[in-house]
Amino acid sequence: MEKYRFEKNELSHMAKSRMPFAIYQFVDKRVVTLLLSKGFFEMFGYDDEIKAYFDMDNDMYKETHPDDVQRISDAAFTFATQGGKYEVIYRSKRVDGVEGYKIIHAVGEHFFTEDGTRLALVWYMDEGPCDEDTEVGGMSLNKHFDNALHGESIVKFTNYDFLTGLPTMTHFFDISMASRDKFLAEGKRPAMLFFDFRGMKYFNRRHGLPEGDKLLREFSRLLAEIYGNECCTRLGGDHFAAFTEEEGLEETVELIFKEGRKLNKGLSLPIHAGVYLSRGEDVGSSTAVDRAKLACDSIRRNYASSFKYYDDTMRDNEEKQQYILASFDRALEEKWITVYYQPIVRAVSGRVCDEEALARWIDPIRGFMSPGDFIPILEDAKQIYKLDLYMLDRVIEKLKIQESEGLFLVPQSINLSRSDFEVCDIVEEIRRRVDDAGFDRKMFTIEITESIVGSDFNFMNDKIREFKELGFPVWMDDFGSGYSSLDVLQSMDIDLLKFDMKFMWQFDQNQNSRIILSELMRMALSLGLDTICEGVETEEQAKFLREIGCSKIQGFYYAKPMPLKDILERYEKGIQIGFENPAQKEYYESIGRTNLHDLRVISADEGETFQSVFESIPMAVIEFRNKKMRFARTNGSYREFMKRYFDFEMTDEFLEYQDAMKSMARSYERVVKEFARKGKKMFIDELLPDGSTAHFFLRRMVDDPVDNTVAITLAVLAVIDKGRGSKLSNLVSALAGDD
C-alpha cells in the first residue's frame, strides 16, 4: 500500500492548528505518521519538526511511562487493524523542566479520504501533572489504569512486550516481512540481526532480577533509537532481534557496542550479535532470525562484544541439523544408530574390565555420522534422552547375547546428558529397564561429564545420590577439562574419575602434563577413587599410567570402538583382549590401586598411617603363580635399581624363577620365594653384586584364589655402600618397630 499524500495547501492548513492532534495511516503492517499539528509539537516539547516525525515513526513511546507502553501499544495496534474507537490514558514525561510525568488522554477515530484511503485521527488532551488521586473523566487515575489492565482488549490482544514496549515476536515478523519486500523493491539488501548479552544469568544472580530488567529496558530503548521501535523486538530473556538494511550495518552495530557499555550507569554486559544478510532467497523472518542466531552462537565463547555473519558453513550445519532432527525417530526405529563398544582395560592385568557404549549413526543417505555430528544437535533440541535410553536398551540386548555365548560379562558405561534430567525422570527410566532385564545394577555405570555437574551442582548432586542409593556406579567423565573439578570432589559421591584425553595429547610435548596427571592420580588414590585415562595410543603412555597408579586405561592402543559382531568375531579368531573374570575383580582392584610413590602401601596395615611419602624409593608389585613370577608393576626407581645392580631388563610377562633370578643373589631368590609362600611382612638385608648392602621391605598384599596367584609389594629402603656396615636406617628401624 502506498503512503497517502495530502494536498500541499490542505497539509499546511492542518499543520498550523494549535489543537494537539496527529493523523496516521497503517501501511505494510506498521503505523506511519502523515501529519503532526503545531499544538502537538507544543504539548510534547518538540522544537525540531523533523525529529518529531522521526520519533513518531520509529520510537513513538520513548517518553511514555514504561508501565504504560505495552497497554497503549496494544490498544493502538487493535485500533489500526480492527477499527473502532481509540481511547487511552497514559503518562508521558513533562516538558516544562520539572521531573515526573503528566497525564495524556488520547482519543482517536478512523475516517476515509475521497479515494477510499482509511486514515486515523488522534487528538491529545493534557490532563495535568501525574497524581494518583487525579480524576480523568470522573474516575481516579489508579482506578482508570486498573480497569484498563483488566479490559477485554488487553486480554485478547498482546502485540507489544510487557517489559520493553517493543513489538512481540509475531508482530515483528509481520512488520519485517513487509519491510523486506520494500527494501528489495528499492534495490537494498535486507539484514536481520540477533543480539544476546554475554553472562546474563550470572548478572541476575549477582545484581538481582530488577537490575537485569532495567538493563534490558535500556537496551531496548537503544535499539529503538537506532532501528526504530517497530523494527526491533525482544524475543525472550536477553535475546533481541532487529531488521535493517546492509548499508551502514557494521557502523550501527559498533555504535550499539559502544553505547551498550554505558547502559544502566555502566553496570552492563558485553553484547554479541549475529547477522543474516538476505541472498535473494524467499526466507521468512523466523528463518532469518534463526540464521542470525546461529551466527551469534558461534561466538558464544568470546567474552568481549563482537558480531559474526551467517555464512556457508553455518548454512551447511543448519541443513545437517534439520536432516538429523527430521530423521532421528526413524533412525531409532530402523536402528540406523549402532552401539560401538570401546574396551576399558585393567592396567595391572591387561584384561577388559569395563566397556563404554558409544553411538554411531550409519545413515542410508549421509553415511557414517560421528557423535560430534548429531549429539550436540539432539541436546539442544532436548531429544537426547531418547538416544540415551535407546543405547541402554541395545546394551541390555548385547549382554544377553554375550551371556548366551558363554563370555564373561563386565560393567557397561552409559553416557548421560544434562537435558536427560530435565526432560524425563532418567533415574527411574534406567532403573526400570535394568530391573526388568534381570541384571545387577552394578553392571551399568553412569558416566556424567564434569561440565554437566558444574552447570547445576546441587541438582546434579541429588541425581547422582539417587543413582548411588539404587546401586548404580557413577563416574565423572572428562575430569580436568573444566575449572570446578576440585570443588566438585569435596562433596560429590562418585566412584571413578575419568581423565580427559587432553592429558595424552600433551604427553610428549609438555612435561607439565605428566606432573599434573601424576599429582591428580595421587589425589584420586588418596580419596579412594578408581581412575581411567582415555586417549592412550602408545606403549609409553600405558606404561607411565601403570606406574603412577592409574587403575584402568582406554584408548586406541588397546582397541578402537567396535560393534558387538566384531567383538564376537575376535573371540572366534582368538585375537581378543579377553574379558576379566568377575571372580578376580576384587584381586586386581586391590593391586591396581597401589601407589608406587607412597610408602604407606607397604608400611601400614589397614587403619594404620605413616606420614612420610618417599617418591624416590624403588618399589614394585610382584606376582607369584605356581613356579613363575612377574613384575606386575614397577616404578622408574625400581627399574633403575634392577638395571644398575643386576643388569636386569624389566618385563611384565610371567617368567620362570630361574630366569627371573638368574642375575640376582641366590639368597635373594630364596627369601622372596619363601616370603611369597607364607610371609606377611619382612625386612631383609641383601648383599648386592658390587659389595654394597640393600635393605628390602616386603609385604603380602592379596591372593587370587582363581589362578592361585599371590601379589606382594617390595620396596628398597636403602643401599649402604661397601665398608659402611649394614645397620638399618632410622626409617627401617621405625618400620620394624611397627611390625
Res 664 pLDDT > 70: no
Question: CA separation (Å) from 119 to 9, 16, 19, 200, 502?
Answer: 18, 19, 18, 43, 68
Q: Which three cell numbers stand for residue 590?
A: 586391590
d(CA 644, CA 451): 47
Split at pLDDT 50, 70, 90, the class of 470 is: very high
DSSP-derived secondary structure letter, 497: E
More confident residue, 68 or 107: 107
Summarize pLDDT for 672-691 with one digit per residue, the tens: 666 766 677 888 888 888 88
Summarize pLDDT for 496-531 with one digit per residue, the tens: 999 888 888 877 777 777 888 888 888 888 788 899
Summarize pLDDT for 148-174 with one digit per residue, the tens: 444 433 433 457 787 888 888 888 888
Give helix 285-297 / helix 312-333 axis angle, nearest 10°.
100
What's the first-to-final CA gap in the chain, in angstroms? 100
pLDDT of the residue at 653:
85
More confident residue, 279 or 105: 105
Q: Which three cell numbers stand for residue 92?
A: 508521558
> How high does pLDDT run on average in the chain?
84
Split at pLDDT 50, 70, 90, the class of 142 is: low
Q: What is the mean pLDDT of residues 66-89?
A: 81
Nearest CA-CA partner of 634 in 700, 699, 547, 549: 547
Split at pLDDT 50, 70, 90, the class of 430 is: very high
Summarize pLDDT for 326-371 with one digit per residue, the tens: 999 999 999 999 999 999 999 988 999 999 999 999 999 999 998 9
Nearest CA-CA partner of 414 in 397, 391, 431: 391
Summarize pLDDT for 187-226 with one digit per residue, the tens: 899 999 999 999 898 898 889 888 999 999 999 999 998 9
Q: What is the mean pLDDT of residues 241-261?
A: 94
Q: Strand (E) positions, 100-168?
A: 101-112, 118-129, 135-136, 139-140
Compute CA 27 distance to the chain's CA centroid, rounded to the nearest angstrom: 45
Q: Which three cell numbers stand for residue 162?
A: 510487557
Compute CA 506 distance to the chain's CA centroid, rounded to the nearest angstrom: 23
Split at pLDDT 50, 70, 90, the class of 729 is: very low
d(CA 669, CA 658): 9
d(CA 69, CA 159): 11
